[in-house]
Amino acid sequence: MDSRTNLLNFDPEGLSEYIASLQEKPFRAKQLLRWIHQRGEADITQMSDLAKTFRATLLEKAEITALPIISDQHAADGTRKWLLDVGAGDAVEMVYIPEDDRGTLCISSQAGCAVNCRFCSTGKQGFSRNLSLGEIIGQLWMAEHTLRREPHAIRRIDSYDGTPIVEHEGRVISNVVLMGMGEPLLNYEPVVGAMRLMLDDHAYGLSRRRVTLSTSGVVPMMDRLANDLPVALAVSLHAPNDALRDELVPINKKYPLKELMAACMRYLPFAPRDFLTFEYCMLDGVNDTDQHAKELVELLKRIPCKLNLIPFNPFPESGLKRSSTARVQDFAKRLMDSGIITTVRKTRGDDIAAACGQLAGDVQDRTNVRERMQVVKFDRGVLDS
């Protein structure tokens, strides 16, 4: 078995410690960070400004390896979805969503999820395991550097907020959201380590407002995050009262709405922008009535926030239906009229099942994955010809 150390598994501090353990000078850690994360170099022999002896040591002891790719699908709207092999018959997915002024990567933090929300296909498949720091940051590493090598992708992002990018010319991914598979706050240390790399100027140099962690509401960990690394926070609400939230988001039984809202208020002073985001999945006849809208206004009116309504993305056997477009619009209008800033999430990548809650719905069944790989190959064949 290969016992080499995967350098993707180190956050900036961890890498410095590793370098020190090899009796190398501290600045070598920064050099390495830049080679790995800024340049996407996986071949240690190519790291030309590292001393030959140091390269030889690294070659012997270390490697840079991301998760193997099972499939790579392209949607008609430019959305891209990768299915990654995490072993033992499990897979996770990540999704790249290009827009005019940004490129967003949605990454996973766990294989499966123990929270088991009623409307989520990841929850339905149960919990398999936590991803390591390297498996989490390896998603950004792989996506960023793969896309950079594709000239059409680079042209999408050449400025942030109208300011030309000088220091990160050619960067494709401007925003990262931890909204893929898993509950990031139940895999705290690896997630925070990976986010430290996202923010580090020698690695990805993203600002805290461009990294968003989405949580179902793990209250004690929200407080820890505020203290350790307060990135933008999205809270998955989905219900305006405890009775309904207990059913839809079972972690509510442990951390009910009163505690969750108090934790949100405590997070706010640390948040990179002066508001939090609440996500609300619109389920026909379940949480989308006028009465629910009224209760939601009461719940949110005293907290600076944006409400993001997500039309439910159905998956087999959920037993739930998406609210009609008219219902979503009316619900949004009621919230807006009461002073709550409300947006409706666009569904992207429908043709490759890349939307929220559909991620790796096919993971359990590897036959299905294999079939899909064949479909992907076929699609590529068509594209290539």
Instruction: Answer for the pair 126, 112: CB distance below 8 angstroms, yes or no.
Output: yes
312: partner contacted, choices ligand SF4, ligand SAH, none (Cβ within 5-8 A by kind)? ligand SAH
CB 104 to ligand SAH: min, Å: 13
CB 117 to ligand SF4: min, Å: 3
Query: Is 135 annotated in the active site?
Result: no
Asked if 361 is part of the footprint of ligand SF4 (rule: CB under 6 A), the reply reads: no
* Binding-residue pattern over the window 196 to 235 for ligand SAH, x denoting contact by CB under 6 A: ------------------xxx-------------------
Asked if 182 is part of the footprint of ligand SF4 (rule: CB under 6 A), the reply reads: yes
Query: Is 317 annotated in the active site?
Result: no
Q: Which residues pair with 282 in a beta bridge?
A: 311
CA–CA separation, 238 and 357 (whole Å) = 13
CA–CA separation, 97 and 14 (whole Å) = 31
Kindly state the number of chain residues that form the binding site for ligand SAH, as judged by CB under 6 A.
15
Handedness of CA 371, 372, 377, 380 (dihedral sign): positive
CA–CA separation, 351 and 353 (whole Å) = 6
| Three-class SS of 133-199 | HHHHHHHHHHHHHHHHCCHHHHCCCCEECCEECCCCCCCCCCEEEECCCCCHHHCHHHHHHHHHHHH
- Catalytic residue of the set 113, 117, 120, 356: 356
CA–CA separation, 185 and 235 (whole Å) = 11
* Binding-residue pattern over the window 105 to 134 for ligand SF4, x denoting contact by CB under 6 A: --------x-xxx--x-xx-----------
Residue placing its CB nearer to ligand SAH in the complex, 29 or 239: 239
Residue placing its CB nearer to ligand SAH in the complex, 37 or 238: 238
Asked if 288 is part of the footprint of ligand SAH (rule: CB under 6 A), the reply reads: no
* Binding-residue pattern over the window 267 to 286 for ligand SF4, x denoting contact by CB under 6 A: --------------------
Subset of 180-199 contacting ligand SAH (CB under 6 A): 183
Q: Which residues pair with 234 in a beta bridge?
A: 214, 277
How distant is the alpha carbon of residue 25 from its chain centre? 34
Subset of 295-314 contacting ligand SAH (CB under 6 A): 310, 312-313
Q: Where are the alpha helices (DSSP H) in 204-348?
A: 219-228, 242-248, 257-267, 290-300, 325-337
- Angle, helices 325-337 vs 290-300, to 10°: value is 40
CB 224 to ligand SAH: min, Å: 16
CA–CA separation, 179 and 94 (whole Å) = 9
CB 135 to ligand SF4: min, Å: 16
- Catalytic residue of the set 24, 93, 183, 279: 93
Residue ranges binding ligand SAH (CB under 6 A): 119-120, 179, 183, 214-216, 236, 279, 281, 310, 312-313, 356-357
Active site residues: 93, 356
